[in-house]
A and B are shown apart, each in its own frame.
Chain A
Amino acid sequence: MSAGDPLRETDAGDGERPRQRFVLDDRGFDEVPPRYRRFYRRWQGSLDSLAPNEALCPVCKIVVRSTRELRPGDRLYCMACMSRLEVVSGADGRLEALVVY
């Protein structure tokens, strides 16, 4: 499952590999106002996978999408369940989102 077209890479300015940028498309997630729909999509189950700009909301299991490739420390919001999330590096090295109360 792709997350939208990679648009360009931006220089992080700190020596890190530049982040990919993404143009998000509307995936039909209808639980938030129309102008925010492109930031979310439904998880399609075991055959689905997350793109570099996506994280799974631990509270409600909706895929949260960003216009930027995600890195540890990034902030995300899940509007579907009103959660503030922080991207962290998981035990297996993959990125995951934790809820911040």
Chain B
Amino acid sequence: MSEEGPDIHDSEPAHFFEQVHSFEFWFEAVEGYLHGLDHGHRRETPEAELPAAERERLITVLCNYCVGETAALDGASGLVQIAPNRATKIFLSTQTVDEGRHLEVLVHRLRELGVADPELEIASRATPALLEFKRRLLGLVRERDWLAALFAQNVILEAMEFTVFQAHARSADPRTREVLLGIVKDERRHMGFGENELGRRLAAEPGAAQRLAAIRRELDPLVFGSFSDTLKRIGGRREEGIDLAEHYRAAVARLGFT
């Protein structure tokens, strides 16, 4: 089946930039993969019978995903206020909606697994390192440090979530797998937005790379530690080819700082 029409690659860069940052584009994109789902999975997808220990591990992992998604929700909504132009404000408004959806479907998944009070469970199972990362991220937003906050959220956090959620989806029960793959589709936009916006800013302000490298050294261990722990819980091992920092390291290398 083929469809003739305008070739997207013939568009002018300014037109492409405006189009992909728009709410209109976001709506048409997410409708393609969210339409008909019930809290991120198909209604008919069966609930797997998990052994008690495996269910416990999954609940702990999902609780920490909720912490990460809450950080991303608070971060994205705060970034709207300090974004440098209308296109980035509009994109971040779509990211804020995405992050709110992620949190909602993950909390719903916890309830499906029998967690009676997800708020309490998240608070009791959260990894201290991830909570500290959240505190640091929101501090950068409060300081109105656009470059550093965007780097922390849309490069460090989003790239690692992208890798871990994909890895987890490969071995997850069917419902969790569908929820995670839906989130990954959103993360692709968030990660790309972060890298491209930072790349443009660094080209205009090359001195900022050194400052971001210092922030990276502070924040890396917090996120790495937390997601490494998650990978162990879901059974991802180095010999299985899961490299937590694969996308992250490649993005930082493209941006030109280490």
Binding site for B on A (CB under 8 A): 4-5, 23-26, 30-39, 58-60, 62, 66-67, 74-84, 99, 101
Task: Please classify the interface of chain B as helix (H, G, I), strand (E, B), loop, or mixed, using the class held by over half of its residues.
Answer: helix
Q: Verify B9–A34 contact, CB threshold 8 A.
A: no
Residues of A within 8 A of B28 (CB): 32-34
Q: Verify B25–A33 contact, CB threshold 8 A.
A: yes
With A39-B8, A77-B11 given, is the CB distance from A33 to B189 under 8 Å?
no
Q: Which residue of B lies closest to A66 (CB)?
A: B9
Q: Verify A84–B7 contact, CB threshold 8 A.
A: no
**Residue B1 at the chain A interface, CB threshold 8 Å:** yes
With A99-B199, A101-B203 given, is the CB distance from A82 to B21 under 8 Å?
yes
Q: Verify A77–B189 contact, CB threshold 8 A.
A: no
With A4-B2, A36-B8, A82-B20 given, is the CB distance from A58 to B250 under 8 Å?
yes
Query: When chains A and B are docked, how far (Å) is the Cα of A23 from the Cα of B189?
Result: 27
Q: Verify A24–B2 contact, CB threshold 8 A.
A: yes
Residues of B within 8 A of A83 (CB): 192, 195-196
Q: Verify B33–A31 contact, CB threshold 8 A.
A: yes
Contacting residue for A82 out of B1, B32, B193, B250, CB 8 A: B193
Q: Which residue of B lies closest to A62 (CB)?
A: B188
Residues of B within 8 A of A82 (CB): 17, 20-21, 189, 192-193, 196
Query: When chains A and B are docked, how far (Å) is the Cα of A83 from the Cα of B199?
Result: 11
Q: Verify B254–A66 contact, CB threshold 8 A.
A: no
Count the B residues whose beta carbon is within 8 Å of the partner chain — how many?
34
**Residue B205 at the chain A interface, CB threshold 8 Å:** no
Residues of A within 8 A of B25 (CB): 33, 79
Contacting residue for A101 out of B9, B11, B188, B196, CB 8 A: B196
Residues of B within 8 A of A32 (CB): 28-29, 32
Residues of B within 8 A of A24 (CB): 2-3
Residues of B within 8 A of A78 (CB): 192
With A31-B33, A99-B199 given, is the CB distance from A81 to B2 under 8 Å?
no
**Residue B232 at the chain A interface, CB threshold 8 Å:** no
Q: Verify A77–B16 contact, CB threshold 8 A.
A: yes
Query: When chains A and B are docked, how far (Å) is the Cα of A81 from the Cα of B20?
Result: 9
Q: Verify A84–B16 contact, CB threshold 8 A.
A: yes
